[in-house]
Amino acid sequence: MNIRKTLATLGISALVGLSAAQAVAAGTIKIGSFLAVTGPAAFLGDPELKTLQMYIDEINTKGGVNGMQLELVHYDTGGKAKEAVGFAKRLIKKDRVDVIVGGSTSGSTLAVIPLVEKDRIPFISLAGSVKIIDPVKKWVFKVPHTDRMAAAKIFEDMKKRGIKRIALISGSGGFGKSGRSQVLALAPEQGIEVVSDESYGAKDTDMTAQLTKIRNTDAQAILCFGFGTGPAIVTKNVRQLGIELPLYQSHGVASKKFIELAGAAAEGVRLPASALLVADKLPASDPQKGLLLAYKQRFESKYGPVSTFGGHAYDGLMITVRAIERAGGTDKAKVRDEIEKTRGFIGTGGIFNMSPTDHLGLDLSAFKMLEIKHGDWTIVE
């Protein structure tokens, strides 16, 4: 057989193989995802992707959804909004996925919203900003708590302790800035006065200047909004300066890493966080407890310490799967309607009750107020 013949044979068999593959693909449900698996937001995207893969495999071995297998099509955005738009286009136009679960960062989610709305495809975002669902967009849903809820939860706890004047210090990244504007918007409604409004840069290594200014105000508590190393430095500096005020952090530091970084200074810090962090300390009557322990155990047996971010991917995936089951197929409009009808779904982030006016469906009870004691989380009652 000469080379030309071999090539022709190869080509034909490749074509046959392709069409066979497509025939199989007809019976699958395609779930698209774009996540920040690498880059500065990898701590979000990495556990999210692992969770999606783990649970999609499990669903498939159990026989799939409505007798159809799930297929995950995912791309790594590196945390960049522009890449996210490109990959979302690819998911919709080339891979022709049935639904999208993804978008690790608020920036990447907000960037693809115009596209998703135009091409009418159900999209569950895994990012934090309240802007994603407020105002409500027909095809866009999200599962993580919003920064507005975090601010509200913190204010609720402050009012219980009789705190009326606070000093705010926030990071200059997207998370810190968005949190800052929510705090400033919500404080007057809650009867809380922000007497000092400081910020720090993403790479700052010392915040004593800002904290010295705060010390000279009549604030009764300090609230720090940010993630990464910044909040840990703030915590250390507060103690070094001998400031005795109660210190609140946002849900952005809800990981063991924060306690490691801040060390002994973290004692007494309060923050709102998802119940996943304290799954084993929840009372047995808590409806989330069983699920949280199961997810934690499964994730940790395979990949190491659990984070709330992977939990968001679980919630997004399961809400989608239930909606497809109820819709009896992958018709995009029907699936969208069914996602909107999600009621009483127990997820890792809380109990979801979505509605046409609420595409998140969580209330303040989804957050637990935690206090760090002896290097571990405890629930504040």
Partner 1 sequence: MKRLRGLFLLTLLVVILPLLFPDNYYVTVVAVSAALHAILAVGLNLLMGYAGLISLGHAAFFGIGAYTSGIVTTRFGLDPWSAMAAGMLLTGTIAFVMARPILRLKGHYLAMATLGLGIIVQIVLVQTEELTGGPDGLGGIPPLSLFGWEVDSDLRWYMLMSAVMLLVVWLALNIIDSRSGRALRALHGSEVAAEMMGIDTTVTKTGVFVVAALSASLAGSLFAHQQAFISPDSFNFFFSIELVTMVVLGGMASTFGAVFGAFVLTFLPELLVIFEDYEVMIFGAILMLMMIFLPQGLFVGLRDLLRRLLQQQRAPAPAPVVPAGEDKHDAA
Given the rule CB under 8 A, which residues bind partner 1? 75-76, 80-82, 85-86, 89-90, 93-94, 106-107, 110-111, 113-115, 118, 129, 131, 172-174, 177-178, 181
Rounded least distance, CB 85 to partner 1, Å: 6
Calculate the alpha carbon distances from 69 to 24, 100, 366 in Å: 10, 16, 32
Q: Which residue has the tokens 């297929």?
A: 71
Strand-strand pairing, 28-35 and 193-200: unpaired
* Cβ-based nearer residue to partner 1, 174 or 230: 174
> At closest approach, how far in Å is the CB of 98 from partner 1?
17
Residue with Cβ nearer partner 1 (114 or 287):
114
Which residues are paired to 346 by β-bridges? Answer: 351
Our CB check for partner 1 shows the closer of 90 and 326 to be 90
- Nearer Cβ to partner 1 (119/156): 119
CB of 93 to partner 1, least distance (A): 5
- Indicate the SS3 state at residue 224: strand
Rounded Cα distance between 142 and 132, Å, is: 7
Residue 352's closest CA among 306, 315, 307? 315
CB 314 to partner 1: min, Å:
22
- Shortest distance, position 87 Cβ to partner 1, whole Å: 8
Q: How many residues does the chain have?
A: 381
Angle subtended by helix axes 106-119 and 174-186, to nearest 10: 80
The answer to whether 309 touches 14, Cβ cutoff 8 Å, is: no
E-assigned strand segments in 85-192: 99-102, 123-125, 140-142, 165-171
Select 85 or 245, whichever has its Cβ closest to partner 1.
85
Nearest to partner 1 of 65, 113 (CB atom): 113
Q: Which two tokens stand for residue 85?
A: 């738009």
**Nearest Cα to 84, choosing from 63, 71, 102?**
102
For the bound state, the minimum distance from the C-beta of residue 345 to partner 1, rounded and expressed in Å, comes to: 28
